[in-house]
Every structure is written in structure tokens, then in C-alpha cells.
Structure 1
């Protein structure tokens, strides 16, 4: 049985993920999954992803981030789960 309750996924993506279209790719996958949130570059060269929606769809996005089929080269994805906080519209690149 899959859990489809609304959650917030926060993921920190490490590797060569800036300047390679990674945020655009993440936004496209998130929109295909019907998620809201954003992907933004950080000063330490990671990408910070926040996504809200059904748990199973957030898990799908997390699996895609770890798939090896992303732009650039992902070496590590650290995730945190919490309740959805709302207030997000669409999925932005920041």
C-alpha cells in the first residue's frame, strides 16, 4: 500500500549539479509529477530542492534525483521529510 498523504521533501543534491541544466531538469520532472516547490543553487555548489505533494510522487522525484540520469553528476542526495507547509505555487528555478 502506498502512502499518498501530502508531504514536504527537502533534498540537498551534491556533485557537479550547477551550470548543467540540473534545476531546469528537476523542475520539469517535478511538474510532470504534479509537485509544487523549487530548486535553487547554493553558494557551496549544491542544489537545494523543496517539493510538496503526495508522498509517493515525492518519492518518485527523489528516485529520479538519485537515478544517474540527471544532467551533470550527482554524488549524493541527502533528504529530509516533513509535513507539507503549503504556500507553494508551481515549481520554480531559483
Structure 2
């Protein structure tokens, strides 16, 4: 966490996971991993066949989730994980980790 005027702010990351990541339980895998790490945010499929994740939490927990995204669940094939940091203020709109609508 980042100290900012006495407030502890979460780091916020956006991940786009490419490969064979739809139809293999990838979103449920991410949900389980993120929930165990007590991260906030969401995961969803994209129309392009990727999986998108927005997540907030402690740097160590984000590092663990990043490793899980690269590994993926059994039956998946992760070709690439594209990562972008988001503004810390984005964390304010995130709640308990959830799976957003399926396409």
C-alpha cells in the first residue's frame, strides 16, 4: 500500500490476458485467486476473446495475482498478459472481487 497523507491507498492494475482464455474457466480461476488474496475489482470476457481484469490491492497481492494470470487454469493457454497501472483513485469504485457479465 502507498502512504498518502495518512491514507493507505491500494495499487490499481488493469490486465488484458490473451490466448485460449475463454471457455476454460479462466474468469472463475481469477475470481478464486483474487478473492483468496483479498483483492478488490472485477474480471470479464471481452468480445475479442480476451479476459480483462481490473484489480486493486497491496503490491505483494497484485504480484501473486500477476503470476497466476500468466499461469492460468488447467486447459487454458496464456499467450500474453498486457498490464497497465491505473490511477489510485480508481480503487474507490471497486468492491469485493466479482465476475462481470458474460458475452
TM-score by length of 2: 0.81
Name which of structure 1's ranges 82-91 and 55-64 shifts more when overlaid on structure 2: 82-91
What are the superposed Cα offsets for residues 19-40 of structure 1, whole Å, 9 maximum, x if unpaired?
1110010000000001000110
Name which of structure 1's ranges 10-19 and 77-86 shifts more when overlaid on structure 2: 77-86
Cα drift, residue 82 of structure 1: 2.8
Partner of 1:81 in structure 2? 85
Structure 2 residue 11 is matched with structure 1 residue 19: no
1:57 to 61, 66, 72: 61
2:60 aligned counterpart, secondary structure: helix
Partner of 1:10 in structure 2? 14
Partner of 1:70 in structure 2? 73
Higher helix share: 2
CA distance in 1, matches of 2:60, 2:87: 14
Aligned residues: 90
Gapped runs of 5+ residues in structure 1? none
CA distance in 2, matches of 1:9, 1:60: 13
User: Is the 2:16–2:81 contact (alpha carbons within 8 Å) kept by the matching residues of 1?
Assistant: yes
Report the structure number with the largest CA radius of gyration.
2
User: Is the 2:24–2:73 contact (alpha carbons within 8 Å) kept by the matching residues of 1?
Assistant: no
Gapped runs of 5+ residues in structure 2? 3-9
CA RMSD of the aligned region, Å?
1.2
